[in-house]
Amino acid sequence: GESVGLHLPTLSVQEGDNSIINCAYSNSASDYFIWYKQESGKGPQFIIDIRSNMDKRQGQRVTVLLNKTVKHLSLQIAATQPGDSAVYFCAESSSNSGYALNFGKGTSLLVTP
């Protein structure tokens, strides 16, 4: 079936550096993409989203880039802080699926002082 996957399972960065987390998806019908942050033992926390009619969206310290040609999504975190340490998931949905979310495997981000 269609899948959403991440390139790197773990990412270690130094505090203050920028982080980039990547995600590939395979469903060409996907039209809505979201990045979530999940801390241990907690539910996913919304970070930022983007629709398929856009290729870039910026939030506070975060930017999501969407490349529909190669079905690739990335999350950029500027000036990474220790509080950013968590597992990050990309998720996609489409109107075809009734907007049920399909989650990627997750990337563990570790920020070292």
Partner 1 sequence: GAVVSQHPSWVICKSGTSVKIECRSLDFQATTMFWYRQFPKQSLMLMATSNEGSKATYEQGVEKDKFLINHASLTLSTLTVTSAHPEDSSFYICSAGRQGASTDTQYFGPGTRLTVL
- List all residues 6 or more positions away from 41 whose beta carbon is below 8 Å from its beta carbon: none
Size of the site for partner 1 (CB under 8 A): 19
Element (H, E) at 38: strand 32-38
- List all residues 6 or more positions away from 69 whose beta carbon is below 8 Å from its beta carbon: none
Site string for partner 1, 52-91 (x = CB under 8 A): -------------------------------------x--
At its nearest, how many Å lie between partner 1 and the CB of residue 37?
A: 11
**Hey, CA dihedral for 77, 40, 108, 68, is it positive or negative?**
negative
Q: Which two tokens stand for residue 8?
A: 């790197």
Q: Which of 53, 60, 98, 113 binds partner 1 (CB under 8 A)?
A: 98
44 binds partner 1 (CB under 8 A): yes
25 binds partner 1 (CB under 8 A): no
| Site of interaction with partner 1 (CB under 8 A) | 32, 36, 41-46, 89, 93, 98-106
